[in-house]
Structure 1
């Protein structure tokens, strides 16, 4: 026997292992229900006869840690929920400012959307270029955003990003009047650059604030922000654009909301639980034990191992497929409803918002179901990620194929298919979307920056493909080509994630700790 063990059992059948080392592990078991446990680390060995005579079951140190965490009383509402709420609002406001141009461009290029003839409008022909320009900036800084957030903290990076984004949104009407469509494109590129910090910031905060048992649901709350912001923006922008004040106020209002969020974020947000001045001790310990937080030292990013990781590439490729389909729907639904289904501005904005309302509501359902199935051990975390990702990616693919072959008379069924295509996509939020936090909690912001930044090349290409293929815009057969292309890309992404995706923490996430263990083992040998 390598380790010298001594066992002590009290009247409550509690077994404690004492070792010469400073580490002490314990667990409690009731003999009537199950045999007591002997908790061992990886380098411990036990004589077989000693184990059988003790009537005990050997479990790993890692498993014992998870059991100990699960038996502790979970704190109720706390500052971890406040952080998630702020992330929800950041994404909601960000998407509201991203999406308002999808409706606004219809009013900006059509003088008949409002009775106020003093509201300016412009005969622009490059609408798809304007809509795609957001993504020109969006793809540039995300990798650096994740690394900067990992190194210097997320709080003030997100604050500055929202300030720049809100200002660029606020001045769009002035730039349109002054420089025309190039002025709007400049503002959209700047918005894309600043919003490139949003998702890496969300993943950095989730990796440090979301306990394992609550990860799916808390993440889903944050990721419901884009759907909520899209709903509000589409409805409000349509109503504002058709009102007396006209489309410029859609940009003023949402830009102003960004400044309000900045105040709340400055006073309530923190990079980690340890840095929050008002968090309770019990909540802080609960989060840190769940995430096995041992140090606040920021390790160097293992770039080589990240870029040679198969699960990371599965996540990135899945995100490529998601962004193609999602951006096609996000930017072109109002145009499709206008040119093919001939809905008026108000009806157009309401119907454009309906799919995202469904997505918003279903996101909470899928998040709760995912956590339930994982925590009750019905699904492993890896199977749950692949299961919900398949629903969220293949569901829209099927709906788009059906939509492309529906006759013009089936307008109601066409809207239903659009609702399904966007709504069921929310299942993917507990699939690939949360995957960086599974693979590498320490580097989740970096992974999200790599995936979201590179994959948004497809977010640029998708609207441009629509402009190239759908000419004239009232030819439904050309829209069929667009929807079938999106369905094929969705399907390929789903298959790749099923085969190569993973939800296991990658070894390079704890490279320094693994190296320390190897050195300890060498010293013992």
Structure 2
């Protein structure tokens, strides 16, 4: 970062760097949030691969690719052209496709139930404690998964529902923590990096699960990932704090920088304006995008390993690798989207609302078109199908700088509860999607049945993206401006303008800052200075 880009604190004519160390306490939180989400998502998706090894498939004949050319050598292999080889492999469980759909979707019933309670608990108990509980509980239940499956499928479903209940509180809790830790102008980049842990954990989880199932058996998948979850929980409890003021190792400069750059009302517990939230068109724009994105993450991705096995005829190791490719692309897109969005939001470029809409257009409407193309792809090309699905699912990663950040843009004090509301509705796709796939393929597990499923998925993507573009907002809504917005210190960033007073005369005006929660005046810094002089003098005397 150049000197011009650094924010400075003005006191008695002197300037001091207020951002703290290059890698500070807020960066540590983001990094550990990445690891926590990676572990939780690995625990979430392991069943998608393990179930292929655990339960019988529709056909009584188990097909192997050992007699087939390597993947990519012949991209026009059709199901009827495959040479089947009878193997002496007996699946441990005799579950129908419908029952397997229930096993896959059970997690999301619990996940659905705890979104809003989780956000309310996070505001009262703190996000740290809830995320610690989710990590420990999910890991312990993963260790019990093999035993529960062997006792009865109903016990396994109950374990997965409980796992979903625990993980349902995580995103609301993380959002509440970010609202107190992440400075406004770093929001897209830092949130995108931490949320990339979801894709990282999924990639590692799918690849490792496929290899482990092939080599040492499916139960070991749950033992390894459960053990790693307990280790991650211990680190989270020791290193993470709910707010900057509670952190024992944060520097004073970084603490003041963070607290001056987030809404100070977040530290007060304002009354939730339920009526205003529920009647806000912006909320429903976010909700539509959230549903569409979750359909891809939960419905399509959960069913993808089964499609790879039953229709494209890949073995377990290939299945794990290929099923992870969309997540790998999503991971990269997450990182690119965050930095790109923050760059585009700089003064003189694009307003926040336009950046959010652009990211969602790339991440939903584009992939929706590709899914429709995959559904009607002529021939039986495996390579072409994998490429289209990978690009379609992978590019959905751009939404992390779109609707995923938008709760913080329009209502920072209530971002946790709003995220819980949109995520609750989005989570329904986790049990609706596998149920739809199971119903379509239970008695007709053919490519035509999966074609219908992908057609539905493409339509969901496109509609969600269009609704967001129509209703999204980028500035703080009037009902979300609560409490005293004065900050502890006066921040005067040369590049971004004064956070209290709006842009300085030499800077081009940033529309979102002018209309957002940091703006207290008409745009004339001298007028605002006159009004704040007495408060500032008292507060600045306390600064070292």
TM-score (norm 1): 0.81
Residue aligning to 1:52:
none
Residue aligning to 1:189:
161
Listed as ranges, the gaps of 5+ residues in structure 1 are 1-24, 29-67, 518-525
Q: Relative to structure 1, is the Cα distance of residues 170 and 215 closer, same or farther in structure 2, using a 3 angstrom cutoff?
A: same
Within-5 A mapping of 1:265-304? 265-293=236-264, 296-304=267-275
Contact 1:320-1:456 at 8 Å conserved across structures: yes
CA displacement 1:237-282 (0-9 Å, x = unmatched) = 0011011x20001011111111111111111111111111110011
From 356, 373, 377, the equivalent of 1:385 is 356
Q: Relative to structure 1, is the Cα distance of residues 275 and 186 closer, same or farther in structure 2, using a 3 angstrom cutoff?
A: same
Residue aligning to 2:331:
360
Runs of 4+ in 1 over 6 A off after TM superposition: 25-28, 111-114, 116-120
CA displacement 1:429-477 (0-9 Å, x = unmatched) = 1000111111222221111111111221122111101111224454111
- Within 2, Cα distance between the matches of 1:143 and 1:204? 12
Contact 1:315-1:435 at 8 Å conserved across structures: yes
Residue aligning to 2:42:
96
Q: Which moved more, 1:437-446 or 1:169-178?
A: 437-446
- Within 2, Cα distance between the matches of 1:137 and 1:113? 35
CA displacement 1:130-167 (0-9 Å, x = unmatched) = 10111111111110111111122111111112211111
Indicate yes or no: 2:345 matched with 1:403: no
> Max radius of gyration: which structure?
1
From 142, 150, 154, the equivalent of 1:177 is 150
CA-atom RMSD in angstroms: 2.4
Residue aligning to 1:205:
177
Contact 2:112-2:168 at 8 Å conserved across structures: yes
Residue aligning to 1:311:
282
Residue aligning to 2:126:
153
- Within 2, Cα distance between the matches of 1:425 and 1:234? 18
Q: Relative to structure 1, is the Cα distance of residues 113 and 259 closer, same or farther in structure 2, using a 3 angstrom cutoff?
A: farther
- Within 1, Cα distance between the matches of 2:311 and 2:378? 11
Q: Relative to structure 1, is the Cα distance of residues 117 and 89 closer, same or farther in structure 2, using a 3 angstrom cutoff?
A: farther
Return the structure number with greater relative CO, CA threshold 8 A, min gap 6. Answer: 2
Q: Relative to structure 1, is the Cα distance of residues 380 and 161 closer, same or farther in structure 2, using a 3 angstrom cutoff?
A: same
CA displacement 1:150-191 (0-9 Å, x = unmatched) = 122111111112211111111010001112x11210111001
- Within 1, Cα distance between the matches of 2:49 and 2:299? 14
- Within 1, Cα distance between the matches of 2:291 and 2:421? 11
Residue-pair matches, total: 448
1:26 to partner: Cα distance: 9.8
- Secondary structure of the 1:378 match is coil
Residue aligning to 1:81:
27
Q: Relative to structure 1, is the Cα distance of residues 509 and 223 closer, same or farther in structure 2, using a 3 angstrom cutoff?
A: same
- Within 2, Cα distance between the matches of 1:117 and 1:155? 49
- Within 1, Cα distance between the matches of 2:345 and 2:12? 23
- Within 2, Cα distance between the matches of 1:486 and 1:361? 22
Contact 1:401-1:483 at 8 Å conserved across structures: yes
Residue aligning to 2:100:
127
Residue aligning to 2:203:
231
- Within 1, Cα distance between the matches of 2:300 and 2:419? 22
Residue aligning to 2:109:
136
1:511 to partner: Cα distance: 2.8
- Secondary structure of the 1:246 match is coil
1:292 to partner: Cα distance: 4.1
Indicate yes or no: 2:192 matched with 1:220: yes
Residue aligning to 1:345:
316
- Within 1, Cα distance between the matches of 2:317 and 2:233? 31
- Within 2, Cα distance between the matches of 1:295 and 1:199? 17
- Within 2, Cα distance between the matches of 1:246 and 1:321? 35
1:317 to partner: Cα distance: 2.3
CA displacement 1:304-350 (0-9 Å, x = unmatched) = 22112221121122212222233222111111111111111111111
Indicate yes or no: 2:267 matched with 1:321: no
Q: Which moved more, 1:234-243 or 1:369-378?
A: 369-378
1:483 to partner: Cα distance: 0.8
- Within 2, Cα distance between the matches of 1:27 and 1:509? 34
- Secondary structure of the 1:434 match is helix
Listed as ranges, the gaps of 5+ residues in structure 2 are 1-9, 65-86, 486-519, 521-544
1:370 to partner: Cα distance: 0.9
- Secondary structure of the 2:264 match is coil
TM-score (norm 2): 0.78
Q: Relative to structure 1, is the Cα distance of residues 269 and 82 closer, same or farther in structure 2, using a 3 angstrom cutoff?
A: same
Residue aligning to 2:69:
none
Contact 1:172-1:184 at 8 Å conserved across structures: yes
